[in-house]
Structure 1
Amino acid sequence: MLSSPAPTRNRPSRRWLSLPLALALGCQASAGGFEKKAADAEVVEQPSPVVVGTVERGAITATISAASTIEAERQVTVHAESVGRLVDLTVEEGDKVKEGQVLARIRFDAQANSLLRANTSLAKAQTDFQRIEQLYNERVLGHEEYQKAKNQLDIAELDLRDRAREMKNTKVTAPFSGTITQRKVIEGGFVTNGAELLQVTDFNTLVARVFVPEKELDRIKVGQEALVVGKAAKGRKGTGKVLRISPTVDAGTGTVKMTVALPQELAGGQGFLPGMYAEVTLTVDHREDVALVPKGAIVHDEEQTYVFVPEGDKARRVRVELGLQDAERVEIVKGLGAGEAVIVAGQTGLKDGAKIVRVDMQGRPEGGDAKPAEAKADDAKADDAGKTDAKVDDTKAANKEN
């Protein structure tokens, strides 16, 4: 019996099997090539917009500024030097007084009685001493009795001086000419020895004490002028002079205390008053005809200072040595000369050799183009993105056809 041949399966040709694999590999290769091109497009360096200025020549003044509180060097609190009820208070805050003027009186009944007893005791001691001295000279009494009488006379005289001083202390007087700035008691109140009564201030002795870094010590001299400006109270401004410089340096802060005296015309109601907050500025150096750039042009890298200068469409970093500085400008001692171009804005984040595009302070490219550099950069990115999208579409279409 003949057996029928076994059915054979139609095996797909190797040529057809390799077609999908080839298509897949082709797609991957196309996608890989596109991604590489896209990555290359992304790393294209865009120029940074910068503002370019010129190194100028001019004068510069270096100053030191420090905050201070206005004080009066002659300001004392008058204390009671006796005990009793305060009577006859004759002054009020704001009153001007002269040295030695009576400001108030303390009731002196007890002190007056003590003074009277002291006078009586002294008179008796004097009489006793005269009698004993005569007997001593006649050799009737010995030296011991004579010395005892002499001691009693001395004690009586001391007691009288004490009682007289207590009587005098019931009168409160001004220690110097000035102004009553505080009244701490009321008439009729009872005061004890040492109680605070009044405060007297001499407005002709106003000073501002400031602390300056020790490195500036050699540039400050006694008699040097200083500008004093009121901070909270506006309109207060004038020129004082350095009165004293402390001979020691504060080890904790590295500063030196300096006392600036204010002239008399700056004191008073329309001028400075004790306790006012002020700023003191001293001129420590001045130079003429030096190279100057804006402070914003300086780039600090650790302890070194640099500027960027334009060279065509690129920026070059140049190390510079600085001199005097004021609020807006800095002196270039070495590294750049007057008239040279320097990048004054937009240099933050720049690297040596970075691409740049010059713009004005409003961000408009030099040459009259009204569109800011940032907008042009965005347009360039948009064009690149459009081209990239088109390439993606072309790649997808080619894959479908295959």
Structure 2
Amino acid sequence: MKKYVIMQAVAIPMFILALFIPVFITNSVIPVEVTTVSQANYTDDIYVNGFVEEKSKKDIFANLPLVPSKVNFRIGDKVNAGDVIAEIDTDATKNALLQLANMANFIPKEYVDAIGKLNVDEKIIKDYIPTEMTAPISGTITSISLVEGAISTPNTSVVTIIQADENRVKMSVNESDIDKVKVGDTVVFKANATKDVKYVGKVERVFPTATKTLVGTTQATVVGIYVDLAENYDKLRPGYTVNGVIHNADKEVVHIIPYEAVLQDAKNKEYVYVIRNSHAERCYIETGRELGDGIEILSPSLFDQAIVKNANDIKRDRGLVKIVKK
């Protein structure tokens, strides 16, 4: 009887423990998502900035003061080569020149000698004072300082014409990156004025010399490049500031894993958890570049290995895990 009581006293706790073992095991199994090492094409993107400028423009200079009698165009107007931009009042121009004789240092001597004669004949007027100012190229007028009845400033540009649809981008590349830039590399950029609109071009020329420039409060050495636009972008205007990246034409295949799969130990050594026989085993890794889709893994080769994606949920090495799908 005593023996029976002892066996009963042992059996009851064992029975109760047996009931709770499955619950204990279930609660100790960590649900995990898994990922694998993937391949990606990597290009060494270089960040650049600059501005839009005219690819081709023509400045019209007046060698001596001129008085227009009529100005036919304004800023923003389109002109064709040969169009008369302004008609010149030769009499008013001659009188103005004579009144400005004391400012001869502004007027070339040969003009003063010829026009300053008392008996000015038509040949001299024709040779030295133009009767009209014409457009040398077709395009759009971006600046004009001619005013009807007012004398112009000598030896300065009075009209600027840019050729239509002939914009390009001038950008600056830090000297430490310029060796990575080649003619033909793709450039993707945005203009501050047009917000999130993206534009595409290709490096057309790399400048042969470097220059100093201010970046914030520090001085940097940069090299200029010209970027040809892939198409005629109506929204881009000369003078707009732009920023973007140069995509190097040379692509490199790299192996990456998601950032959340990588942890660090107390010594800052990086590791992941690999699923083996329903357990999460710690595996130390060597990483490389940080990319947009994950971090580059250099070693070991973990292809075809199931790696725990939610690594922070693992509490200990070789713990039991259960793979779940999301």
- The one of 332, 349, 356 aligned to 2:297: 332
- The one of 120, 129, 141 aligned to 1:167: 129
Q: Is the 8 A contact 1:307 1:320 kept in 2?
A: no
Report Cα offsets for 1:371-399 as digits up to 9, x if no partner.
xxxxxxxxxxxxxxxxxxxxxxxxxxxxx
Q: Which residue of 1 aligns with 2:80?
A: 98
Q: Is the 8 A contact 1:83 1:106 kept in 2?
A: no
Q: Is the 8 A contact 1:53 1:344 kept in 2?
A: yes
Q: In structure 2, do the counterparts of structure 1 residues 164 and 186 end up closer, same or farther at CA, with 3 Å as the change threshold?
A: closer
For residue 272 of structure 1, report the CA deviation from its aligned partner. 2.0
Q: Is the 8 A contact 2:65 2:154 kept in 1?
A: yes
Report Cα offsets for 1:89-140 as digits up to 9, x if no partner.
01123322233432113321165689xxxxxxxxxxxxxxxxxxxxxxxxxx
Q: Is the 8 A contact 1:209 1:260 kept in 2?
A: yes
For residue 260 of structure 1, report the CA deviation from its aligned partner. 0.5
- The one of 266, 283, 290 aligned to 2:232: 266
Amino-acid identity (%) = 23
Deviates more, 1:49-58 or 1:103-112: 49-58
The alignment partner of 1:221 has SS state of coil
Q: Is the 8 A contact 2:66 2:93 kept in 1?
A: no
Structure with the largest fraction of strand = 2
Q: Which residue of 1 aligns with 2:169?
A: 208
Q: Is 1:253 paired with 2:235?
A: no
For residue 179 of structure 1, report the CA deviation from its aligned partner. 0.5
The alignment partner of 1:248 has SS state of strand
Q: How does 1:304-383 map to 2 (within 5 A)?
A: 306-310=270-274, 312=279, 315-322=282-289, 326-342=291-307, 355=316
Question: Which residue type is aligned with residue 96 of structure 1?
Answer: K
Q: Which residue of 1 aligns with 2:202?
A: 241
Q: Which residue of 2 aligns with 1:54?
A: 36
Counterpart-to-counterpart distance in 2, 1:309 and 1:205:
56
Structure with the largest fraction of helix = 1
Q: Which residue of 2 aligns with 1:222?
A: 183
Counterpart-to-counterpart distance in 2, 1:336 and 1:88:
79
- The one of 31, 46, 50 aligned to 1:68: 50
For residue 244 of structure 1, report the CA deviation from its aligned partner. 0.8
Question: Which residue type is aligned with residue 208 of structure 1?
Answer: V
Q: In structure 2, do the counterparts of structure 1 residues 346 and 92 end up closer, same or farther at CA, with 3 Å as the change threshold?
A: farther
Counterpart-to-counterpart distance in 2, 1:367 and 1:171:
85
Aligned alpha-carbon RMSD (Å)? 4.6
Q: How does 1:271-286 map to 2 (within 5 A)?
A: 271-284=235-248, 285-286=250-251
Question: Which residue type is aligned with residue 184 of structure 2?
Answer: G
Structure 1: 5+ residue stretches without partners: 1-47, 115-154, 359-364, 369-402
Q: Which residue of 2 aligns with 1:287?
A: 252
Counterpart-to-counterpart distance in 2, 1:74 and 1:63:
29
Q: In structure 2, do the counterparts of structure 1 residues 294 and 65 end up closer, same or farther at CA, with 3 Å as the change threshold?
A: farther
The alignment partner of 1:208 has SS state of strand
Question: Which residue type is aligned with residue 287 of structure 1?
Answer: E
For residue 159 of structure 1, report the CA deviation from its aligned partner. 4.3
Q: In structure 2, do the counterparts of structure 1 residues 342 and 75 end up closer, same or farther at CA, with 3 Å as the change threshold?
A: farther
Q: In structure 2, do the counterparts of structure 1 residues 60 and 294 end up closer, same or farther at CA, with 3 Å as the change threshold?
A: farther
Q: Is the 8 A contact 1:249 1:256 kept in 2?
A: yes
Q: How does 1:32-47 map to 2 (within 5 A)?
A: none
Counterpart-to-counterpart distance in 2, 1:52 and 1:330:
16
The alignment partner of 1:109 has SS state of helix
Q: Is 1:83 paired with 2:47?
A: no
Question: Which residue type is aligned with residue 99 of structure 1?
Answer: A
Question: Which residue type is aligned with residue 187 of structure 2?
Answer: A
Aligned residues: 267
Q: Is the 8 A contact 2:67 2:93 kept in 1?
A: no
Question: Which residue type is aligned with residue 167 of structure 1?
Answer: I
Which entry has the higher C-alpha Rg, 1 or 2?
1
Q: Is the 8 A contact 1:80 1:172 kept in 2?
A: no
Q: Which residue of 2 aligns with 1:373?
A: none
Question: Which residue type is aligned with residue 286 of structure 2?
Answer: R
Counterpart-to-counterpart distance in 2, 1:71 and 1:64:
21
Question: Which residue type is aligned with residue 103 of structure 1?
Answer: I
Report Cα offsets for 1:9-56 as digits up to 9, x if no partner.
xxxxxxxxxxxxxxxxxxxxxxxxxxxxxxxxxxxxxxx999753212
For residue 215 of structure 1, report the CA deviation from its aligned partner. 4.5
Q: Normalized against structure 2, the TM-score is what? A: 0.61
For residue 176 of structure 1, report the CA deviation from its aligned partner. 2.8
Q: Normalized against structure 1, the TM-score is what? A: 0.51
The alignment partner of 2:178 has SS state of helix
Q: Which residue of 2 aligns with 1:192?
A: 153
